[in-house]
Structure 1
Amino acid sequence: MPAGKLSKKQQDALLAILKDRFTKHEARHKGLSWADVQVRLEAQPEALRSLSAMEASGGEPDVIGQDADSAQYIFCDCSAESPEGRRNICYDPRGYEKRRDEGLPVSGSALGMAAEMGIEVLDEEHYGLLQSLGSFDTKSQSWLKTPSEVAKLGGGIFGDRRFGRVFVYHNTPQSFYRARGFRGMLKV
């Protein structure tokens, strides 16, 4: 969870940004009301801290739906490309430590950064949902939450959009590239 509490001024500024984005991109959340989302956010200051961290790292978080079981709003990084402040990273902390110990200029890990921000790495299902709402990662790639059966075998998965299609690929968790980051998700 991000450290510290947002001031009233910071909360108001963040809510204004989120409201503006929500209003401009209504197709991402048809049938949902900003007033309802705002009430939920104002009751959960820890969610505002996480959304602030998503915004500060270039994620441009927005609502992409509502969980059918829990009725929680699903926020996701909706920047056109993988968030700039979360690129050049390995998938997991072990991969990051290995690359760092080799003296390579890696910036962190998707799982480590997500934990610090109080969010989840976007999974393949929600990545597909996001991609159904627009064209994302046409010049970048995003690590995705890797299923345990793949991780146990030493793999990690990531996605992008090329040639008008969405692709999900595999790589080793310690791999890192300047254009590969991760997208986060937060349920509120």
Structure 2
Amino acid sequence: MEDQFTNFRDRFEATPDRHEGLSYDEVESRLTSSKRTALAWMEQTGGDPNVVALNGRLVIVDTAKESPAGRRSVCFDESARLSRKKNAPAASVESMIEMLEVHLLTPEQYQELQTQFSFDEKTSSWLKTPDLIRQKGGALFGDRRYETTFIYHNGADSYYASRGFRVCIELD
């Protein structure tokens, strides 16, 4: 694999408990060209991607301790970003991932990951939001405080320096 994936391989090999019985060669053989592009983007934006079992499936997911630094200060989606009358951010979650083979974490995936390792103790991450909530102008996000995982809501047009988002790549 190219040099750009050295950190990914090192991270994978340093945490065998997250993907028991899986070899790196097996992971590499499942990485299509578009998945390699997405993985490179995850690394470049600070996601610390690694392979984990999530809802019984193997995925590559952001395992950074805090929400990836290169994906913060963004609105939930483009319609929310464009609806801001003042101080619109440069991007939205939607615009950043639209050309990649990645998926925004669901609240259920976020909660399951929090049982495997703790993250977002100082930051928060936007989560996939049901259409009904989004149609009413809201969006979901999660964080971990007081050794507890919380799922909250906010206006989809809001953005904060400490809120980013996490994604996953399906390997199956």
Same fold (TM over 0.5): yes
Aligned-residue identity in percent: 36
Residue 28 of structure 2 aligns to which amino acid in structure 1? Q
Q: Following TM superposition, by how much is the alpha carbon of 1:105 offset from its aligned partner in structure 2, in angstroms?
A: 5.1
Residue 40 of structure 2 aligns to which amino acid in structure 1? S
Confirm or deny: 8 A CA contact 1:155 1:171 kept in the other structure.
Answer: yes
Confirm or deny: 8 A CA contact 2:55 2:112 kept in the other structure.
Answer: no
Alignment partners' CA distance in 2, 1:164 and 1:107: 33
- State the match for 1:143 in structure 2: 126
Structure 1 alignment gaps of length 5 or more: 1-10
- State the match for 1:178 in structure 2: 161
Give every structure 1 segment of 4 or more consecutive aligned residues whose post-TM-superposition deviation is greater than 4 Å: none
Confirm or deny: 8 A CA contact 1:91 1:156 kept in the other structure.
Answer: yes
Alignment partners' CA distance in 2, 1:67 and 1:135: 17
Q: Following TM superposition, by how much is the alpha carbon of 1:66 offset from its aligned partner in structure 2, in angstroms?
A: 6.2
- State the match for 1:95 in structure 2: 80
Alignment partners' CA distance in 2, 1:166 and 1:155: 20
Confirm or deny: 8 A CA contact 1:91 1:143 kept in the other structure.
Answer: yes
Q: Following TM superposition, by how much is the alpha carbon of 1:59 offset from its aligned partner in structure 2, in angstroms?
A: 0.7
- From 13, 21, 40, the counterpart of 2:3: 13
Question: Are 1:126 and 2:116 counterparts?
Answer: no
Question: Are 1:36 and 2:26 counterparts?
Answer: yes
Superimposed CA distance per residue, residues 26-52 of structure 1 (whole angstroms, 9 cap, x where no aligned partner): 2222232222111112xx111101100
Question: Are 1:53 and 2:36 counterparts?
Answer: no
Structure 2 alignment gaps of length 5 or more: none
Q: Following TM superposition, by how much is the alpha carbon of 1:67 offset from its aligned partner in structure 2, in angstroms?
A: 6.6
Confirm or deny: 8 A CA contact 2:105 2:167 kept in the other structure.
Answer: yes
Confirm or deny: 8 A CA contact 1:137 1:160 kept in the other structure.
Answer: yes
Q: Go from structure 1 to structure 2 and tell me whether the alpha carbon gap of 1:67 and 1:167 turns closer, same or farther (over 3 Å shift).
A: closer
Residue 183 of structure 1 aligns to which amino acid in structure 2? R
Residue 82 of structure 1 aligns to which amino acid in structure 2? S
Residue 144 of structure 1 aligns to which amino acid in structure 2? L
Alignment partners' CA distance in 1, 2:9 and 2:37: 16
Further displaced range: 82-91 or 28-37 = 28-37
Alignment partners' CA distance in 2, 1:126 and 1:32: 21
Alignment partners' CA distance in 1, 2:151 and 2:116: 17
- State the match for 1:5 in structure 2: none
Q: Following TM superposition, by how much is the alpha carbon of 1:22 offset from its aligned partner in structure 2, in angstroms?
A: 0.6
Further displaced range: 47-56 or 26-35 = 26-35
Confirm or deny: 8 A CA contact 1:157 1:168 kept in the other structure.
Answer: yes
Alignment partners' CA distance in 1, 2:65 and 2:99: 23
Q: Go from structure 1 to structure 2 and tell me whether the alpha carbon gap of 1:14 and 1:125 turns closer, same or farther (over 3 Å shift).
A: farther
TM-score (norm 1): 0.84
Residue 69 of structure 2 aligns to which amino acid in structure 1? E
TM-score (norm 2): 0.91
